[in-house]
């Protein structure tokens, strides 16, 4: 049975409260005027989040004066670190020069230039900007359904495609015989029947889904590198089969690269597998710290949301789509990554490998077996994204959210309930065991993570030796102890 970490979480919470009086006071004020005291569930950790006063490079400083190593990096978006000079200089220079940076709502040259940079790098014929990955994935699915005349959406169990109707099915693991179901109230009951769930990196399961439902599937949407707390590479044979089956059955393949786009090269990840999807979504990194996302792909599909396609799909982008300040940041960031591709990405791969080993070594030294995802793959030399999984079998290497969220495979309660707060007390900020490396991080920062992981492991091991109770979990759900990590349903 899983460990019960309730007593450990209470101990960590008391220590955190004592160290952070100003953040505690701000949390009380925030709860009086905002739901749970904030505007994104994933950020509202237990017992309360550190309130940040400043952020620079690989660190943040909270209002209580603590300098914290930041491996959350703006929901994995800040590949050059917090507030990178290259983007800050472009924005401040534009303000000083009197350029239009506030809302305009009229087409400009900057929009054209940014799209011209992105299209060849993403291997898309056309694209359209919007403001979030959630909107980008929703629009891509709408286009696929309109193009095929079908309604069924195939996605990966545990994959996060944003807080939109088809994204809110099959993300959270539920107890019982149907573990991947509707994850939110307030949606039409029909939505659940419009989504089919498949296992990531499981070719046999994928083939079975198409065999059973292929003539109804409008699209398959999949992250080549699963985000949302996993950071697992798609195996080449699995993604290749996805391309083969979608073509065979007349469905569209959507690569959701909101997390992984521009993370491994100055462009898409799909091409590193030698694969071309019909549609692609991107966000996070391309915005340079500003709210920018895009959906793109085949012109005949994209035209369905334009006059040439009769405006059949209402993918308008939104009032703030292609916002001048956001696109200036995007053009600056994308141009920088293209120009410095041979410097940025090899460094990230090296730092990522060092971090993976530091995490595993640190926990091992403290007596807790752990597996850190993102090992190099053919064609992908290393990953700047890694997630720690507390495997019960020391030789196990989880390859899908099904495995990493299964309490019989991993200590899910330790990752989701204890890890964030325990690491924060050691001066390291991350969520759900996810680490995003940026070029602003240093080798010394990585070594500090190793020490922090060892300290956390020793604390957890001491709790276990103290003989805390174990809890029975009905139907295989994770430990019901209070989570120190906030709402795990929204990482995007």
For the segment 162-209, what is each residue's pLDDT rounded down to a tens digit?
A: 999 999 999 887 766 677 788 999 999 899 999 999 999 999 999 999
Residue 431 has pLDDT above 90, yes or no: yes
Quick one: 320 and 247 in the same domain?
yes
Confidence category of residue 251, pLDDT binned at 50, 70, 90: very high
d(C-alpha 439, C-alpha 455), whole Å: 26
Range with lowest mean pLDDT among 119-128, 319-328, 378-387: 378-387
List residues bridging with 55 in a β-sheet.
Answer: 60
Sign for the pseudo-dihedral over CA of 432, 434, 435, 438: negative
Q: For the chain, give the mean pLDDT.
A: 93
Residue 482 has pLDDT above 60, yes or no: no
What pLDDT sits at residue 2? 75
The answer to whether residue 395 sits within a structural domain is yes
Helix (H, G, I), strand (E, B) or coil at 434: strand
Give the whole-number percent of the chain exceeding pLDDT 90: 86
Q: Is the pLDDT of residue 489 over 80?
A: no
Looking at residue 468, what is its pLDDT?
57
Same structural domain, 301 and 385: no
Which pLDDT does position 492 carry in this prediction? Answer: 57
| 428: CATH | 3.90.1150.10
**Model pLDDT for residues 23-81, shown as the tens digit of each residue:** 999 999 999 999 999 999 889 999 999 999 999 999 999 999 999 999 999 999 999 99
Does residue 491 form part of some domain? no
pLDDT value, residue 175: 67
Single out the residue in 322, 339, 356 at which a domain terminates.
Answer: 339
Give domain status of residue 384, yes or no. Answer: yes
Residue labelled with tokens 């573990």: 179
The reported pLDDT for the residue numbered 17 is: 98
Residues 416 and 447 in one domain: yes
Sign of CA dihedral 100, 104, 109, 113: positive
Q: Is residue 489, in this structure, part of any structural domain at all?
A: no
Residues 235 and 182 in one domain: yes
Query: What CATH number did the domain enclosing 166 receive?
Result: 3.40.640.10
Say whether pLDDT at 252 is over 80: yes
Question: Structural domain tally of the chain?
Answer: 2
- Domain membership of residue 369 (yes or no) is yes
User: Which domain range does residue 10 map to?
Assistant: 6-83+341-476
Residues 393-406: tens digit of each pLDDT: 999 999 999 899 89
Asked if residue 53 belongs to a domain, the reply is yes
**Position 484 pLDDT exceeds 70:** no
The domain boundary, picked from 339, 356, 372, lies at 339
Tell whether omega for the bond before 21 is within 30 degrees of 0, i.e. cis.
no
Q: Are 119 and 21 in a shared domain?
A: no
Judge if 13 and 123 occupy the same domain: no
pLDDT of residue 480 exceeding 50, the answer is no
277 within some domain: yes
- For 291-316, what is the mean pLDDT? 95
Question: Mean pLDDT throughout 210-227?
Answer: 98
Is 464 buried (19+), middle (13-18) or exposed (0-12) by CB count in 10 A? Answer: middle
Determine the pLDDT at residue 491: 52
Domain endpoint, select from 339, 363, 393: 339
Q: Work out the pLDDT band at 486, boundaries 50, 70, 90.
A: very low
The secondary structure of the chain in percent helix, strand, coil, rounded to multiples of 5, reads: 45, 15, 40
Do 366 and 297 have their domain in common?
no
Claim to verify: residue 301 and residue 232 sit in the same structural domain: yes
**What is the distance between the alpha carbons of residues 268 and 92, in angstroms, rounded to a whole number?**
29
What secondary structure letter does DSSP report for 329?
A: H
Q: How far apart are CA 471 and CA 482, in angstroms?
A: 13
What local confidence, expressed as pLDDT, does residue 469 receive? 54
Residue 201 has a pLDDT of: 97
For the residues 477-492, what does the mean pLDDT come to? 43
Decide which of 173 and 321 is more confident.
321
pLDDT of residue 467: 75
Residues 279 and 154 occupy one common structural domain: yes
In terms of pLDDT, which residue wins out, 379 or 224? 224
On whether both 132 and 259 belong to a single domain, the answer is yes
> Does one domain contain both 322 and 303?
yes
What's the confidence (pLDDT) of residue 490? 47
Q: Could you tell me the pTM of the whole model?
A: 0.94
405 lies in the same domain as 425? yes
pLDDT digits (tens, 9 = 90+) for 325-353: 999 999 999 999 999 999 999 999 999 99
- DSSP lists the bridge partners of residue 217 as 152
**pLDDT digit string (tens) for 69-93?**
999 999 999 999 999 999 999 999 9
Query: Is 485 a member of any domain?
Result: no
Burial per residue of 177-198, b for 16 or more beta-carbon CB atoms within 10 angstroms, e otherwise:
eebbebbeeeeeeeebebbbbb
């Amino acid at each position: 049975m899983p460990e019960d970490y309730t007593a450990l979480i209470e101990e960590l919470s008391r220590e955190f409260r004592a160290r952070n009086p100003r953040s505690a006071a701000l949390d009380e004020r925030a709860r009086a005027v905002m739901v749970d005291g904030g505007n994104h569930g994933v950020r509202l950790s237990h017992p309360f989040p550190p309130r940040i006063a400043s952020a620079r490079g690989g660190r943040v400083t909270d209002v209580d004066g603590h300098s914290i190593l930041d491996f959350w990096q703006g929901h994995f978006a800040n590949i050059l670190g917090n507030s990178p000079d290259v983007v800050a200089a472009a924005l401040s220079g534009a303000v000083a020069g009197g350029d239009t940076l506030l809302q305009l709502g009229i087409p400009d040259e900057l929009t054209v230039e940014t799209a011209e940079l992105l299209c060849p790098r993403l291997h898309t014929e056309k694209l359209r900007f919007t403001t979030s990955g959630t909107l980008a994935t929703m629009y891509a699915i709408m286009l696929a359904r309109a193009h095929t005349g079908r309604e069924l959406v195939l996605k990966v169990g545990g994959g996060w495609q944003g807080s939109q109707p088809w994204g809110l099915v099959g993300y959270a693991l539920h107890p019982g015989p149907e573990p991947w179901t509707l994850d939110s109230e307030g949606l039409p009951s029909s939505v659940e029947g419009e989504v089919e769930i498949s296992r990531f990196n499981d070719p046999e399961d994928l083939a079975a889904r198409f065999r059973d439902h292929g003539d109804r599937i409008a699209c398959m949407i999949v992250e080549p590198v699963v985000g949302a707390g996993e950071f697992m590479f798609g195996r080449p044979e699995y993604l290749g089969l996805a391309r083969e089956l979608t073509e065979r059955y007349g469905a569209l393949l959507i690569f959701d690269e909101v997390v992984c786009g521009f993370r491994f090269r100055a462009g898409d990840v799909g091409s590193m597998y030698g694969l071309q999807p019909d549609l692609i979504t991107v966000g996070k990194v391309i915005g340079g710290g500003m709210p920018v996302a895009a959906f793109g792909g085949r012109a005949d599909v994209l035209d369905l949301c334009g006059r040439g396609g009769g405006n059949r799909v209402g993918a308008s982008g939104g009032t703030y789509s292609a916002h001048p300040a956001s696109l200036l940041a995007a053009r600056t960031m994308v141009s920088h990554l293209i120009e410095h591709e041979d410097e940025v990405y090899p460094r990230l791969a090296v730092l990522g490998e060092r971090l993976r080993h530091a995490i595993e070594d640190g926990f091992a030294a403290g007596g807790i077996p752990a597996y850190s995802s993102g090992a190099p793959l053919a064609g992908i030399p290393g990953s700047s994204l890694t997630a720690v999984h507390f495997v019960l079998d020391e030789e196990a290497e989880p390859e899908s959210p099904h495995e990493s969220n299964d309490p019989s495979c991993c200590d899910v309660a330790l990752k989701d309930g204890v890890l964030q707060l325990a690491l924060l007390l050691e001066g390291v900020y991350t969520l759900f065991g996810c680490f995003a490396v940026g070029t602003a991080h240093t080798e010394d920062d990585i070594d500090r993570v190793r020490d922090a992981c060892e300290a956390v492991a020793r604390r957890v091991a001491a709790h276990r030796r103290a003989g805390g109770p174990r809890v029975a979990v009905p139907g295989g759900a994770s430990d019901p102890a209070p989570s120190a990590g906030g709402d795990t349903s929204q990482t995007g």
